[in-house]
């Protein structure tokens, strides 16, 4: 063998650098901004915002001028108001918009996406008119070729703490294990730990319904009730969530996990909870419409209270706490009366 040839064969070729994959986050509210910072640990992120001032603030000053304003955003994160630009070349797309706007967004973004790109919903809610979960909305509104790429992120996670890189654990749910594994790898960092499950129904309903129970928890605090009351409310609230979720096909163990009990505890007890804030102000005697009108961010539990109550009636599932929250928000029922009515219900066994 020619010595030159031998040397050529044994000389290692230079390793080509692996380009970090681009991801897209659609929605620049608090939670969308927080998830974008998580993904920016792995590579470039394009964050879509509706308003030009938000885009300018992020790209020029490295902060979101409306939400989480004190947080400096990574240099790997850029913002755009152009939806097509945001998703162009993205290997993963995360949707973080209010649940009542999800259907319209899917109609706009569907034609821009290619099959094989994981689509992650991080929105928690149930549509008022259709009583559809976000999975059902996405399956109805996206092109058929994209429907096997869906995943759903949920769990106990305040945006401010996520941006501050405080230890957080969430659940990724998908019908197909290869999709949940892709999403798990994309989001997992030393401070943001992701678990996977195939129980999309349990994860979705746990994430949506806990917001309604959080309004009840806030109301209990607002009228001056104590720890005994809160413990009872969380426990019975979880029982209600589990009854409806299991009726619709969920695994009851899911409701004992991060996207069930974990998210419920956080949202009902954490002072950063928007839903708990709404309930607290109702407990102090204010009307829901007045409270909501003052808020710059969406409290998903307000709209979900209506759809959850209607869903419970459709499925003939007993959900008395959900019913009282519905009446406090939409019928201006005083919190004191709602609590009295809950406590005076017919006595029964705890587990039936």
| 119-121/150-154 β-pairing | parallel
Tokens in use for 72? 């400096």
Q: Is 50:26 a contact under the CB 8 Å cutoff?
A: no
Average pLDDT, the chain: 93
Looking at residue 102, its pLDDT comes to 97
Domains within the chain, CATH numbers bracketed:
23-198 (3.40.50.720), 206-343 (1.10.1040.10)
Q: Are 308 and 317 in contact (CB under 8 A)?
A: no
In angstroms, rounded to a whole number, what is the distance separating the alpha carbons of residues 182 and 246? 27
Three-state SS annotation for the chain: CCHHHHHHHHCCCCCCCCCCCCEEEECCCHHHHHHHHHHCCCCCEEEECCCHHHHHHHHHHCCCCCCCCCCCCCCCEEEECCHHHHHCCCCEEEECCCHHHHHHHHHHHHHHCCCCCCEEECCCCECCCCCCEHHHHHHHHCCHHHHHHEEEEECCCCHHHHHCCCCEEEEEECCCHHHHHHHHHHHCCCCEEEEEECCHHHHHHHHHHHHHHHHHHHHHHHCCCCHHHHHHHHHHHHHHHHHHHHHCCCCHHHHHCHHHHHHHHHHHHCCCCHHHHHHHHHHCCCCHHHHHHHCCCCCHHHHHHHHHHHHHHHHCCCCHHHHHHHHHHHCCCCHHHHHHHHHCCCCCCCCC
Which tokens is 52 given? 């030009």
CA angle 232, 202, 189 (to 5 degrees): 100
155-191: pLDDT as tens digits: 999 999 999 999 999 999 999 999 999 999 999 999 9
- Give me the percent of the chain exceeding a pLDDT of 70: 94
pLDDT in tens, 315-329: 999 999 999 999 999
Using DSSP bridges, classify how beta strands 150-154 and 168-173 pair: parallel, antiparallel or unpaired.
Answer: antiparallel
pLDDT of residue 296: 81
pTM: 0.92
Mean pLDDT (whole number) for 322-349: 97
Among the listed residues 22, 42, 210, 303, the single catalytic one is 210
Q: Is the pLDDT of residue 6 over 70?
A: no
Q: Quote the pLDDT of residue 351.
A: 87
Residue-level pLDDT at 274: 95
pLDDT confidence of residue 21: 86
Q: pLDDT band for position 335 (50/70/90)?
A: very high
Which pLDDT does position 197 carry in this prediction? 98
Note the pLDDT of residue 337: 98
Note if 349 is an active site residue.
Answer: no
Q: For residue 298, what pLDDT is reported? A: 83
pLDDT band at 13 (very low <50, low <70, confident <90, very high): very low
pLDDT over 90 percentage in the chain:
91
Q: pLDDT tens for residues 80-125?
A: 999 999 999 999 999 999 999 999 999 999 999 999 999 999 999 9
Q: Assign residue 276 a region (left: φ > 0; alpha: ψ between -120 and 50; beta: otherwise).
A: alpha
Residue 4 pLDDT exceeds 70: no
- Average of pLDDT values for 47-61? 96
């Amino acid at each position: 063998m020619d010595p030159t040839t031998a040397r050529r064969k044994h000389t290692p070729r230079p390793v080509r650098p692996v380009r970090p994959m681009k991801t897209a986050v659609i929605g620049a509210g608090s939670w969308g901004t927080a998830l974008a910072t998580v993904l920016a640990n792995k590579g470039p992120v394009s964050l879509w915002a509706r308003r030009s001032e938000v885009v300018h603030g992020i790209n020029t000053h490295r902060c979101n001028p409306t939400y989480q304003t004190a947080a400096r955003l990574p240099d790997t994160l850029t913002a755009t108001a152009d939806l097509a630009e945001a998703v162009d070349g993205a290997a993963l797309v995360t949707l973080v918009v209010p649940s009542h706007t999800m259907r319209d967004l899917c109609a706009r973004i569907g034609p821009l996406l290619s099959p094989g790109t994981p689509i992650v919903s991080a929105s928690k809610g149930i549509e008022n008119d259709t009583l559809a979960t976000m999975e059902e909305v996405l399956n109805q509104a996206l092109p058929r070729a994209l429907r096997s790429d869906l995943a759903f992120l949920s769990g106990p996670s305040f945006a401010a703490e996520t941006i501050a890189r405080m230890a957080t654990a969430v659940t990724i749910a998908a019908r197909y294990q290869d999709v949940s594994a892709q999403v798990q790898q994309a989001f997992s960092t030393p401070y943001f730990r992701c678990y996977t499950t195939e129980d999309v129904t349990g994860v979705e309903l746990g994430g949506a319904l806990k917001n309604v129970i959080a309004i009840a928890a806030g109301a209990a605090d607002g009228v001056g009730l104590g720890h005994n009351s809160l413990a009872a409310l969380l426990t019975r609230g979880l029982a209600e969530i589990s009854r409806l979720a299991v009726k619709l096909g969920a695994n009851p163990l899911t409701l004992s996990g991060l996207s069930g009990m974990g998210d419920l505890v956080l949202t009902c007890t954490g002072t950063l909870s928007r839903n708990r804030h709404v309930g607290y102000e109702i407990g102090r005697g204010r009307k829901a419409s007045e409270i909501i009108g003052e808020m710059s961010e969406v409290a998903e539990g307000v709209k979900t209270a209506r759809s959850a109550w209607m869903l419970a009636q459709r499925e003939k599932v007993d959900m008395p706490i959900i019913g009282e929250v519905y009446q406090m928000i939409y019928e201006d029922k005083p919190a004191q009366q709602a609590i009295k009515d809950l406590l005076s219900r017919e006595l029964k066994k705890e587990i039936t």
